[in-house]
């Protein structure tokens, strides 16, 4: 069947918008996955609308919201790790290996 048309991709974007997914990075990732899955279903002989419905049913209505929550939590965790790493790097006692548990860095 080949690639999706611009109109079909816009329809998939509308589905993502209706799902309530607001996290841009996840929207882009989900769009890519949905397009690939819909194309695969179309290559098996389904028409676009039927392929899109099948893929959406496979995801489930609440799964997109769950995916968004997990994505946001992962992003927050990554930021926390990065900030902690930056704080640790600025502490001379930590760098020298002399920071004891329960002691504060007094750099």
Length of the chain: 107
Judged on CB neighbours under 10 Å (0-12, 13-18, 19+), 51 is buried
What is the overall mean pLDDT for the chain?
81
Residue 88 has pLDDT above 90, yes or no: no
Of the candidates 26, 25, 51, 57, the residue with the CA atom closest to the CA atom of residue 37: 51
Q: pLDDT for 33-45, tens place per residue?
A: 899 999 999 999 9
Q: pLDDT for 4-21, tens place per residue?
A: 999 999 999 998 888 877
Query: pTM of the predicted model, to two decimals?
Result: 0.60
**Which pLDDT belongs to residue 91?**
72
């Amino acid at each position: 069947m080949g690639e999706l048309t611009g109109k079909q991709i816009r329809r998939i974007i509308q589905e993502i918008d209706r799902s309530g997914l607001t996290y841009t990075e996840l929207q882009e990732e989900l769009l890519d996955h949905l397009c690939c899955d819909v194309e695969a279903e179309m290559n098996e002989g389904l028409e676009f609308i039927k392929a899109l419905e099948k893929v959406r049913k496979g995801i489930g209505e609440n799964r997109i919201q769950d995916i968004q929550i997990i994505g946001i939590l992962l992003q927050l965790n990554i930021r926390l790790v990065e900030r902690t790493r930056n704080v640790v790097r600025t502490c001379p006692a930590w760098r020298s290996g002399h920071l004891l548990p329960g002691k504060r860095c007094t750099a």
